[in-house]
C-alpha cells in the first residue's frame, strides 16, 4: 500500500523539503549511520527498557496483554530502532514510518501513548550516545542532535499519517450518511415516498433528486410523496432545490405531493414569499398518502401541466 | 449522411412518434412538420411523443416541443411527452427548460391511458 499518492500532509514528493525544513542534512545521516554498530549492540536493552516502561501503565497494558503480541511488537520495535540509524532515509524509510501512524490509528492506540514512547526512546538514547562518544564531546553533541531531528521527523510522519487516517474515516462516514439520508421507499403500487432528514444543501439535493427520479422510473410510480417533517428549517435555497426536484419529477410524468409541512415551515414559506402554487401540500404523510390513493383510484394521475 | 426518417404512427384517434436518440435540429423540424400534417390528415385527438431514447435535450428541442404542443392544441389535440430519462429531467429542471402545455407521462402506456381518460372526460 502506498501512501505517497494520497493527499496526506507530507507527501513523498515533499519528503526532501521536509528533511530540509527539519534541518536534517546528509551529515546527520552519516553521523547516525556511524552510530549504527553501537545501536545494534544495545538494541535489546533499549527495546526491553521501553516495554518495561510502557507496561507500568494500565492504559498501555491493554494493548500489550498477551505474550505473543508483545513478542511481535518487540521484533517490530527492534527493526524500527535499527532503521533510525540505518543512514538511509529514503522512500522505504518514509513508507515504514507512515505505516506506523496508520497502524496505530487502526488499532485505536491514542497518539499520546506512542508520542510518549518517542520521548522515552530519546531518554534511553542519550546516555548511550554519551557512553559511546564520551571522549569526543563535539561528536556526541552532533550525533545527539541528529538523533533528535530524525525522531522529530518520525513523529511528524506518524502524526500526519494518523490524522490522515482519521480524516479518511470521517470522509467515508460522511459519504455513508449522505447515502443513507435519502432513502426512497415504495409505499404502494404506484406511490413512492421519501423522507428528507436534515438540511437540503446543493450536494444532497442533487443526490436526492437523482435517487428519487431513478426510483420513480424504475417503479413506474405516477405519484411521489416528499416528506419534509425532518427538515429543521427551510430557506430560499432549500425551497429552490425542492422546486427543481418537483419540476424534474413533472417532466418524467409523475406528480409530487409535499407532506409534513409543520406550522413553522408554513410560516417561513409564506414570509419568504416562496410560491408552491400548483403543488399539492399536506401537513402529514398520512394525509398525503390518502390523497395519493384517491388519485390512483380515480385514475387521474395525469394532466400534469409542465408549467 | 444517412438520413434517418421519422415515422408518425396513427393508432385509432391518437398519433405516436418515437423520437430517435440524439435528434438534430433538422430532425426536430421534420418532426414538427410531419406531426402537423398528420394532425391535418387524421384529425387526431391526441399526440404522444416518446422520448425515452433521448439522452440529451437542448433548449431548441424543448422550445420546439413547447411550440408543437401549442400548434397541436390549436388543431384540437392534446400532447403527452412520455418516458423522459431521469438525467434529462434533472438537467431540464436545473436549466429551467419547460415543455409549455405538454402533459408528461412515465411511459407510452400511461400516456395512452391519460389521453383516453382525458378524452372520455371531455365528451
Q: What is the pLDDT of residues B40-85, one digit of tens each?
A: 899 899 999 999 999 988 888 888 988 899 889 888 889 999 999 9
pLDDT at B35 over 70: yes
Interface test with A, best of B53, B91, B104 (most A CBs within 10 A): B104
Nearest CA in chain A to B84: A252
**pLDDT for res A187:** 92
Please say which residue of A115, A141, A174 terminates a domain: A174
pLDDT at A149 over 80: yes
- Residues of chain B in contact with residue A306, where contact means CB-CB under 8 angstroms, are 81, 98-104
Read off the CATH number of the domain in which A76 is found.
1.10.490.10
Q: Give me the mean pLDDT over the A216-222 stretch.
A: 92
Contact status of B95 with chain A (Cβ, < 8 Å) = no
DSSP structure class, residue A182: -
Residue indicated by cell numbers 416528506: A227
Strand partners, B16: B9, B48
Which has the minimum average pLDDT: A46-50, A107-111, B22-26? A107-111
Nearest CA in chain B to A250: B104
- Alpha-helical (H) ranges within chain A are 15-21, 26-54, 58-61, 67-84, 91-107, 111-133, 137-180, 202-219, 236-252, 263-272, 285-298
Nearest CA in chain B to A219: B106
Quick one: how far is CA B43 from the chain centroid? 16
Structural domain contains residue A224 = yes
Query: Are A189 and A170 members of one domain?
Result: no
DSSP states of chain B: -------EEEETTEEEEEPPSS--HHHHHHHHHHHHHHHHHH--SEEEEE-TT-----HHHHHHHHHHHHHHHHTT-EEEEE---HHHHHHHHHHT---TT-EEESSHHHHHHHHHHHHHHH-
Structural domain contains residue A215 = yes
Give the CATH number of domain B8-122: 3.30.750.24
Report percent pLDDT > 90 for chain A.
15
Contacts of A152 (CB under 8 A, 6+ apart): A22
- Which grid cell sits at A24? 536534517
pLDDT at A292 over 90: yes
The answer to whether A208 touches A238, Cβ cutoff 8 Å, is no
Mark which residues 51-80 of B lie under 8 Å from A by CB. Answer: 80
Query: Are A118 and A205 members of one domain?
Result: no
- Residues of chain A in contact with residue B52, where contact means CB-CB under 8 angstroms, are none
Backbone CA torsion sign across B100, B106, B109, B110: negative
Structural domain contains residue A4 = no
- Which grid cell sits at B90? 434533472
Query: Are A132 and A20 members of one domain?
Result: yes
Total Cβ atoms within 10 A of residue A49: 15
Instruction: Name the band, by pLDDT with cuts 50, 70 and 90, for residue A218.
Output: very high
Strand partners, B9: B16
Quick one: how far is CA A84 from the chain centroid? 30
**pLDDT for res A201:** 80
Give which of A15, A114, A12 is closest to A63, Cα–Cα: A114
**pLDDT for res B59:** 86
**pLDDT for res B4:** 62
Q: Give me the mean pLDDT over the A89-111 stretch.
A: 82
Q: What is the pLDDT of residues A235-290, one digit of tens each?
A: 888 888 888 899 999 999 899 999 998 888 888 888 888 888 878 888 899 999 99
Nearest CA in chain B to A252: B84
Quick one: how far is CA B2 from the chain centroid? 23
Query: Are A215 and A165 members of one domain?
Result: no
pLDDT at A304 over 50: no
Give which of A113, A92, A99, A83 is closest to A164, Cα–Cα: A99
Q: Give me the mean pLDDT over the A119-140 stretch.
A: 84
Q: Which residue has the higher pLDDT, A207 or A256?
A: A256
Distance between CA atoms of B58 and A200, rounded to whole angstroms?
28
Distance between CA atoms of A236 and A242, rounded to whole angstroms?
10
Report percent pLDDT > 70 for chain A.
92
**pLDDT for res A32:** 87
Please say which residue of A174, A196, A231 terminates a domain: A174
Task: Tell if the CB–CB gap between A302 and B114 is shorter than 8 Å.
Answer: yes
Query: Are A100 and A238 members of one domain?
Result: no
Domain containing A265 equals 185-298
The count of domains in chain A is 2
Task: Tell if the CB–CB gap between A307 and B98 is shorter than 8 Å.
Answer: yes
Instruction: Report the mean per-residue pLDDT for chain B.
Output: 87
Contact status of B10 with chain A (Cβ, < 8 Å) = no
Question: What strands, in cross-sheet order, belong to the sheet with B78-82?
Answer: B8-11, B14-18, B46-50, B78-82, B103-105
Considering CB atoms only, which of B98, B106, B118 is closest to A252? B106
Angle in degrees, CA B83, B85, B88, rounded to 5: 125
pLDDT at A5 over 60: no
pLDDT at A305 over 70: no
Structural domain contains residue A307 = no
Interface test with A, best of B14, B89, B122 (most A CBs within 10 A): B89
Query: Are A138 and A199 members of one domain?
Result: no
Amino acid at each position: 500500500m502506498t501512501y505517497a499518492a494520497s493527499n496526506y500532509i507530507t507527501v513523498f514528493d515533499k519528503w526532501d523539503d521536509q528533511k530540509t525544513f527539519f534541518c536534517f542534512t546528509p551529515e546527520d545521516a552519516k553521523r547516525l549511520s556511524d552510530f549504527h554498530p553501537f545501536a545494534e549492540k544495545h538494541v535489546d536493552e533499549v527495546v526491553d527498557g521501553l516495554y518495561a516502561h510502557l507496561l507500568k501503565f494500565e492504559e498501555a497494558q491493554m494493548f500489550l496483554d498477551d505474550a505473543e503480541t508483545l513478542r511481535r511488537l518487540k521484533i517490530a520495535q527492534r527493526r524500527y530502532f535499527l532503521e533510525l540509524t540505518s543512514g538511509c532515509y529514503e522512500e522505504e524509510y518514509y513508507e515504514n514510518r507512515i505505516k506506523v501512524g496508520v497502524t496505530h490509528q487502526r488499532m485505536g492506540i491514542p497518539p499520546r501513548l506512542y508520542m510518549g514512547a518517542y520521548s522515552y526512546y530519546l531518554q534511553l538514547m542519550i546516555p548511550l550516545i554519551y557512553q559511546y562518544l564520551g571522549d569526543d564531546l563535539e561528536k556526541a553533541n552532533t550525533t545527539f542532535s541528529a538523533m533528535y531531528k530524525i525522531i522529530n521527523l518520525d513523529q511528524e510522519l506518524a502524526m500526519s499519517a494518523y490524522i490522515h487516517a482519521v480524516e479518511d474515516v470521517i470522509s467515508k462516514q460522511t459519504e455513508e450518511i449522505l447515502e443513507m439520508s435519502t432513502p426512497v421507499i415504495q409505499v404502494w403500487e404506484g406511490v413512492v415516498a421519501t423522507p428528507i432528514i436534515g438540511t437540503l444543501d446543493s450536494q444532497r439535493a442533487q443526490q436526492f433528486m437523482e435517487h428519487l427520479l431513478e426510483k420513480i422510473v424504475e417503479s413506474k410510480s405516477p405519484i411521489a410523496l416528499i416528506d419534509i417533517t425532518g427538515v429543521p428549517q427551510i430557506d430560499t435555497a432549500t425551497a429552490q432545490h425542492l422546486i427543481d426536484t418537483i419540476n424534474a419529477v413533472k417532466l418524467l410524468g409523475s406528480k409530487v405531493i409535499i407532506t409534513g409541512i409543520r406550522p413553522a415551515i408554513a410560516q417561513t414559506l409564506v414570509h419568504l414569499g416562496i410560491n408552491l402554487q400548483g403543488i399539492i401540500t399536506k401537513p402529514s404523510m398520512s394525509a398525503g398518502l390518502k390523497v395519493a390513493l384517491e388519485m390512483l383510484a380515480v385514475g387521474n394521475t395525469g394532466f400534469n401541466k409542465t408549467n | 449522411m444517412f438520413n434517418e426518417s421519422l415515422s408518425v404512427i396513427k393508432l385509432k384517434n391518437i398519433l405516436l412518434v418515437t423520437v430517435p436518440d440524439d435528434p438534430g435540429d433538422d430532425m426536430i423540424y421534420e418532426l414538427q412538420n410531419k406531426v402537423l400534417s398528420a394532425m391535418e390528415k387524421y384529425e387526431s385527438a391526441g399526440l404522444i411523443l416518446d422520448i425515452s431514447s433521448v439522452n440529451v435535450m437542448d433548449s431548441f428541442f424543448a422550445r420546439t416541443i413547447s411550440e408543437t404542443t401549442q400548434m397541436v392544441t390549436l388543431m384540437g389535440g392534446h400532447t403527452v411527452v412520455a418516458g423522459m430519462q431521469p438525467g434529462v429531467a434533472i438537467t431540464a429542471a436545473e436549466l429551467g427548460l419547460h415543455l409549455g402545455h405538454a402533459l408528461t407521462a412515465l411511459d407510452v402506456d400511461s400516456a395512452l391511458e391519460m389521453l383516453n381518460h382525458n378524452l372520455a372526460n371531455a365528451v
